[in-house]
Amino acid sequence: MSPLRRFLCTPEAIAGAIILAALFAMALTAPLFFPGDPQAIAGPALLPPFQDWSLPLGTDRLGRDVLAALLHGARTSLAVGLAAAAAALAVGAVVGTLAGFAGGLVDEVLMRITDAFQTVPSFLLALAFVSVVGPSLGVVVAAIALGAWTGPARVARAEVLSIRERDFVAGARVIGMHPLEIAFREVLPNALPPVLALSSVIVAAAILTEAALSFLGLGDPNRVTWGGMIAEGRAVLRTAPFLSIIPGVALVLTVLGIYLAGEGVVETAAVRRSLS
């Protein structure tokens, strides 16, 4: 059976895949359906959902189209989530591999740095970083990655510690391979699977962190974000709760979808490992 078919055998994986597919469709089609600026005024202010079919989800306090904002917000959420997770995984894998493979002083120094990052709450770290450097998409990605790389680093190090004792690593030394080549070409690829298993959790956490930063007004001001929409709706929470509820539900579904799909991937990988 192909891995894809096996992946689609678990119900949670199917649910996750459907949610994620919808999300990606939203993100990719946003410029087609709403080519203009989603922050432009489109109609009367505070129009409730399902009243006017040209503005199906209504408008916010300034008369901006909620559906357009939601779709464009999906772009931001996904972009930031994926980029931050990729950066965190890459940095974590490299740091963990170096620490585990080199051992000794290098290991000690790298792991103490990891400890330092891990003791500071990652949201505070992101908050401080964005406050100092200034809000833009790249900075937000870096800020989130800053607090998320420690987990992958620890997992990678633990994996490398066991892999470096294997015969094939000794074999690579015997043929005279350079230690850095052994670390990154022989050891790291074999240490990756458990590190990648963390990715769904990291992506989900990154999306939530981005939403929280935007909620506090520290997101990229030139982009629509779900966190920013919730913050916008907060002022009129009693009269127009849908302004906060709609992006809130989108956020919950996204995180749930990523989590379920991630579970499915982990399970597929586990089945494949037990088969081989």
Residues that bind other proteins (CB under 8 A): 1, 166-168, 170-178, 186, 189-190
Side-chain half-sphere exposure of 209, counting CA atoms within 13 A? 33
Residues 230 and 217: their CA atoms lie apart, in Å, by: 11
Q: Output 156 or 206, the one with its CB closest to other proteins.
A: 156
Q: How far is the CB of 200 from other proteins (least distance, A)?
A: 23
Q: Output 169 or 218, the one with its CB closest to other proteins.
A: 169
* Number of neighbours of residue 45 by Cβ within 10 angstroms: 14
Token digits of residue 44: 């009367």
Q: How far is the CB of 275 from other proteins (least distance, A)?
A: 9
Q: How far is the CB of 191 from other proteins (least distance, A)?
A: 12
Asked whether the CA dihedral 250, 41, 228, 206 is positive or negative, the reply is positive
Residues 132 and 12: their CA atoms lie apart, in Å, by: 41
Q: Output 173 or 234, the one with its CB closest to other proteins.
A: 173
Which SS3 state, helix, strand or coil, does residue 45 take?
A: coil
Q: Output 178 or 234, the one with its CB closest to other proteins.
A: 178
Contact between residue 64 and residue 38 where contact means Cβ atoms under 8 Å apart: yes
Contact between residue 59 and residue 158 where contact means Cβ atoms under 8 Å apart: no
Burial class (CB in 10 A: 0-12, 13-18, 19+), 252: exposed
Q: Output 48 or 193, the one with its CB closest to other proteins.
A: 193
Q: Where are the alpha helices (DSSP H) in 197-241?
A: 199-215, 226-234
Q: Output 32 or 165, the one with its CB closest to other proteins.
A: 165
Q: Output 171 or 221, the one with its CB closest to other proteins.
A: 171
Q: How far is the CB of 194 from other proteins (least distance, A)?
A: 15
Q: How far is the CB of 189 from other proteins (least distance, A)?
A: 6
Q: How far is the CB of 179 from other proteins (least distance, A)?
A: 9
Residues 153 and 273: their CA atoms lie apart, in Å, by: 23
Q: How far is the CB of 163 from other proteins (least distance, A)?
A: 10
Torsion of CA 119, 122, 128, 134, to 10 degrees: 150
| 134 CB-near residues (< 8 Å, 6+ apart) | none
